[in-house]
Amino acid sequence: MTDTLKPRDGKDVEEAVRFAIGNEKPLEVAGRGSKRRIGRPSQTDLTLDLSDLSGVTLYEPAELVLSAKAGTPLAEIEALLERNNQQLGFEPMDYGPVFGDKPGQGSIGGVVASNLSGPRRIKAGAARDHFLGVTAVTGRGETIKSGGRVVKNVTGYDLCKVLAGSWGTLAAMTDVTVKVLPKSETEATVVVSGLDDARAAEAMSAAIGSPHDVSAAAHLPDHVVSWFDGLPNAEAATVLRIEGFAPSIAHRKEALAGLMRPFGAVAILDPGESRALWRAVGEVRPFAVDAARDRPLWRISTAPGKGHEIANLITPAAQMFYDWAGGLVWVAMPSPDEPNAASIRRAVAEVGGHATLIRAPASVRAAVEVFEPEAAPIAALNRRVKDSFDPKGVLNPGRMWAGV
């Protein structure tokens, strides 16, 4: 039975961390807990629950900036932005459904701590690229701030970058400031049917390498395509999204369709179909459905042109689809307790990039590396960085790597 501390403000967070240091009681740091099952299983019996640090503290649409307490529900922020015709440009994906939960349960702090991104990653970057400022309590029990509320800022080290994607292992964030962007007026998706994975990689490369400003590119092989809504047929679908002003979309969807016709049969999805499709991509739909939920799920990040090579290097029983023009490969392994970690690590070593075991039973995540093991000098540097923020190892110890 774990105990929970629920701070009301930054001072409480400091106090909680100092308690942890003084009593050698490491903390599991959680925002709203929607991603607790990602990473190596928690080895703590005390949870620092930041969900009461909630609320948007600054939002200036014309300045494209929003600040919120770290535990603020992402859904609340997205609704507020929606009312002002704005959005988080990095289109954070939603891990909820992957774990059988409802979508929309995460916090803005969690989004940043896990450096979430989505299909728009290829154009707009990830949370790190929109993360302007932070207030956080380090593992020394001290409140620090870094960055600010303006986009152009090179004052001091960019600690926001290293906190983004550190999964709460360096500091417990209490306040974050992010850049926001106007929502696109409209969108469309061009679908190319029937391509194999290698040909799809070429098609996506041609599309992204065109001036048509493609904002998302995914390839959905035929063994998973039926899980996605709005597609014209049951063949493999290579899908390319464009977003922007109506006259521009009217022009670009035709131009992009023309560019894609030499690759295969082309169809165009209307804005509603397009939105539904990309929501499914961002929720990893084929592997979030009941039938697939006990399959170990890998997230592989590689050079876009190399993604399809992974398929040839691992078991044919694995299922997969590609986002980020081929640079993000979601792989579901066939049997619940066997993540096939060795073959995934070998494949990634061969094609380059890194793999994260996103979903697997706790016993499995305790037994195999969840995050990509780093080369020795980088692993040593990571440990020194961890020590510089959290010398006593009281914040999410071991969540990313043993001993960090």
Please report how close the Cβ of residue 280 comes to another protein at its closest, in angstroms: 21
Supply 145's token pair: 């701030």
In the chain, the amino acid numbered 185 is E
Please report how close the Cβ of residue 133 comes to another protein at its closest, in angstroms: 9
> Which of 53, 126, 277, 332 is close enough to bind another protein by CB under 8 A?
126
Cβ-contact 110, 31 below 8 angstroms: yes
Q: Which stretch binds another protein (CB under 8 A): 28-36, 96-104, 267-275, 372-380?
A: 372-380
Cβ-contact 147, 134 below 8 angstroms: yes
Please report how close the Cβ of residue 162 comes to another protein at its closest, in angstroms: 5
Cβ-contact 208, 111 below 8 angstroms: no
Identify which of residues 316 and 377 has a Cβ nearer to another protein in the complex.
377
Please report how close the Cβ of residue 357 comes to another protein at its closest, in angstroms: 13
Q: Which stretch binds another protein (CB under 8 A): 68-76, 99-107, 290-298, 382-390?
A: 382-390
- Residue 396's region, left for phi above 0, alpha for psi from -120 to 50, else beta, is left
Q: Which of residues 248-287 bind another protein (CB under 8 A)?
A: 248, 250-252, 255
Q: What angle do CA 379, 382, 384 make, to 5 degrees?
A: 115
Q: Which of residues 344-363 bind another protein (CB under 8 A)?
A: 352-354
The DSSP H or E segment spanning 122 is helix 121-124
CA atoms of 175 and 162, how far apart (whole Å): 16
Cβ-contact 84, 108 below 8 angstroms: no
Please report how close the Cβ of residue 50 comes to another protein at its closest, in angstroms: 13
Q: Which of residues 307-346 bind another protein (CB under 8 A)?
A: 324, 327-328
Cβ-contact 163, 171 below 8 angstroms: yes
Supply 181's token pair: 């962007």
Supply 374's token pair: 């780093």
Q: Which of residues 45-64 bind another protein (CB under 8 A)?
A: 60-64
Q: Say whether 89 sits in a helix, a strand or coil.
A: coil
Please report how close the Cβ of residue 173 comes to another protein at its closest, in angstroms: 13
Identify which of residues 230 and 398 has a Cβ nearer to another protein in the complex.
398
Identify which of residues 21 and 231 has a Cβ nearer to another protein in the complex.
21
Gap between the terminal Cα atoms of the chain: 24
The closest of 308, 211, 232, 322 to 274, measured between CA atoms, is 232
Q: Say whether 353 sits in a helix, a strand or coil.
A: coil
> Which of 389, 396, 397, 399 is close enough to bind another protein by CB under 8 A?
389
Asked if 211 touches another protein (CB under 8 A), the answer is: yes
Asked if 402 touches another protein (CB under 8 A), the answer is: no
Q: Which of residues 135-154 bind another protein (CB under 8 A)?
A: 138, 140-146, 148-154
Identify which of residues 101 and 129 has a Cβ nearer to another protein in the complex.
129
In the chain, the amino acid numbered 52 is D
Please report how close the Cβ of residue 216 comes to another protein at its closest, in angstroms: 13
Identify which of residues 50 and 208 has a Cβ nearer to another protein in the complex.
208
Asked if 366 touches another protein (CB under 8 A), the answer is: no
Asked if 67 touches another protein (CB under 8 A), the answer is: no
Asked if 164 touches another protein (CB under 8 A), the answer is: yes
Asked if 76 touches another protein (CB under 8 A), the answer is: no
Please report how close the Cβ of residue 355 comes to another protein at its closest, in angstroms: 9
Size of the site for another protein (CB under 8 A): 105
Please report how close the Cβ of residue 294 comes to another protein at its closest, in angstroms: 26
Q: Say whether 317 sits in a helix, a strand or coil.
A: coil
Convert 226-240 to b/e letters by CB count within 10 Å (16 or more is b): ebbebbeeebbbbbb
Identify which of residues 37 and 306 has a Cβ nearer to another protein in the complex.
306
Please report how close the Cβ of residue 224 comes to another protein at its closest, in angstroms: 22
CA atoms of 105 and 35, how far apart (whole Å): 9
At 148, give phi and psi (nearest 5°). -175, -150
